[in-house]
């Protein structure tokens, strides 16, 4: 899949977390958080990554940023494999890829001022000297619609939305080309969500950023993403243009997910059919055979139980992993 305008290529990414037991910490099983996942992100696009809790969305993002060392597979950044980088080389590579966290409360060091939090990445990467970043910090704070005079405050003096803006400013300070947004708005209330989303979209245009936007809120993802990846239990289910995916979901899981999105029109909402999924997400320690989704799928058949489905092209850039389409 190595392409010309791809910024990120994820190839057969596998991330197993060992489950250990006993005094000797013997490995007894693996949590198969991400199991053979491949996709790419084009320069300048926003790729949405959706799925239920525990489906490996966040792990995928962390693996791309090399915060977890992937068990197997490759992550190519502009054609260079990040998984082979270590130590100083990896540290330098981090300048180009940043992370915006889900929890705006836990992700800021309570003992550092806002200015130091935003300025630190620049110091770490030698862009400015320690303590000489006042001007740059002011500019960054303005960029995320905070006021430069707030730089002397500590994180607890900010509201949730403002803290998230600080997190965004911190990510932007080293002028990265790629940002993983790990559920950046799910901890915020709805009105603030809209502000942060439009801020992210504006910054994308101004700074030519590429986003991997991880979320479980499908309407938010639709709003911001060019393409969307649907994950279930460590596997890719469907990839498509976001308009295409929302208009014409092919995978039964995607259909069920989309049918759960509330529609702000009671007339329409009453008429549509909701697909209720029964049962819980199976344990990623011991995932179902064949298609991981088959125990909860309405259209399941023998082949679903036995064979793992491959990604099939069903339309323009629309890929689905399902035997039944």
Partner 1 sequence: MASASVATTYTVQEKKRPPFLVDLFLRLVREKPLGTVGGVVVIILFLTGVFADVLAPYGYNEIVLADRLSPPSARHILGADNLGRDLLSRIIYGARISMYVGLAGSAIDVAIATFIGLISGFFGGKTDITIQRFVDAWLCFPSLFIYLTVMAILGPGLIQVIMVLGVSSGIRSSRTVRSAVIGIKENVYLEAAKAIGAQNRRILTRHILPNVMAPIIIIFTIAMGGMILQESTLSFLGFGIPPPIPSWGGMLSGSGRTYMLQAPWMALWPGLALAIVVYGINMLGDAMRDLLDPRLRGGLGRYSGVKRKMPKQLSQA
- Site residues, partner 1 (CB under 8 A): 65, 67, 91-92, 94-95, 98-99, 101, 103, 106-112, 120-121, 124-125, 145-147, 149-150, 152-154, 162, 167, 170, 174, 195, 198-199, 202
- Which residue lies nearer to partner 1 by CB, 114 or 215? 114
DSSP 246: H
Give the β-pairing of 72-77 and 80-81. antiparallel
CB 238 within 8 A of CB 319: yes
Compute the least distance from the CB of residue 317 to partner 1, in Å. Answer: 30
For the record, the structure tokens of 44 come out as 């300048």
Backbone φ, ψ for residue 17 (5° rounding): -100, 125
- Which residue lies nearer to partner 1 by CB, 103 or 241? 103
Compute the least distance from the CB of residue 310 to partner 1, in Å. Answer: 34
- Which residue lies nearer to partner 1 by CB, 66 or 242? 66
Compute the least distance from the CB of residue 294 to partner 1, in Å. Answer: 35
Residue 258 to residue 285: CA distance in whole angstroms: 27
Compute the least distance from the CB of residue 284 to partner 1, in Å. Answer: 21
Compute the least distance from the CB of residue 91 to partner 1, in Å. Answer: 5
CB 251 within 8 A of CB 282: no
- Which residue lies nearer to partner 1 by CB, 52 or 103? 103
Query: What is the edge-to-edge ordering of all strands in the sheet holding 26-42?
Result: 26-42, 6-21, 72-77, 80-81
Which residues fall within 8 angstroms of residue 325, CB to CB, at 6 or more apart?
250, 251, 312, 314
- Which residue lies nearer to partner 1 by CB, 17 or 154? 154
């Amino acid at each position: 899949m190595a392409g010309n305008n791809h910024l990120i290529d994820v190839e057969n990414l596998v991330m197993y977390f060992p489950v250990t037991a006993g005094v000797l910490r013997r490995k007894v099983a693996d949590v198969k958080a991400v199991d053979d996942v491949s996709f790419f992100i084009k320069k300048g696009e926003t790729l949405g990554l959706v799925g239920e809790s525990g489906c490996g969305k966040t792990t995928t993002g962390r693996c791309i940023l090399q915060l977890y060392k992937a068990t197997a597979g490759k992550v190519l950044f502009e054609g260079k494999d990040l998984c082979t980088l270590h130590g100083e080389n990896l540290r330098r590579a981090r300048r180009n890829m940043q992370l915006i966290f889900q929890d705006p409360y836990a992700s800021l060091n309570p003992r550092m001022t806002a200015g130091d939090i935003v300025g630190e990445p620049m110091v770490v990467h030698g862009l400015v000297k320690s303590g000489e970043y006042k001007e740059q910090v002011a500019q960054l704070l303005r960029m995320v619609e905070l006021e430069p005079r707030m730089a002397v405050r500590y994180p607890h003096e900010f509201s949730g939305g403002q803290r998230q803006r600080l997190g965004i400013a911190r990510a932007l300070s080293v002028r990265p080309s790629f940002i993983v947004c790990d559920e950046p708005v799910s901890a915020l209330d709805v009105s603030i969500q809209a502000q942060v989303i439009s801020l992210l979209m504006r910054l994308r245009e101004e700074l030519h950023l590429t986003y991997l936007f991880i979320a479980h809120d499908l309407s938010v993802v639709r709003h911001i993403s060019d393409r969307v990846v649907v994950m279930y239990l460590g596997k890719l289910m469907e990839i498509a243009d976001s308009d295409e995916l929302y208009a014409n979901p092919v995978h039964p899981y995607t259909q069920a997910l989309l049918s759960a999105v509330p529609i702000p029109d009671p007339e329409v909402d009453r008429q549509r059919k909701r697909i209720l999924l029964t049962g819980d997400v199976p344990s990623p320690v011991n995932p179902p055979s064949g298609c991981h989704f088959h125990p909860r799928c309405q259209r399941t058949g023998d082949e679903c139980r036995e064979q793992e489905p491959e990604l099939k092209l069903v339309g323009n850039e629309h890929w689905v992993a399902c035997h039944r389409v």
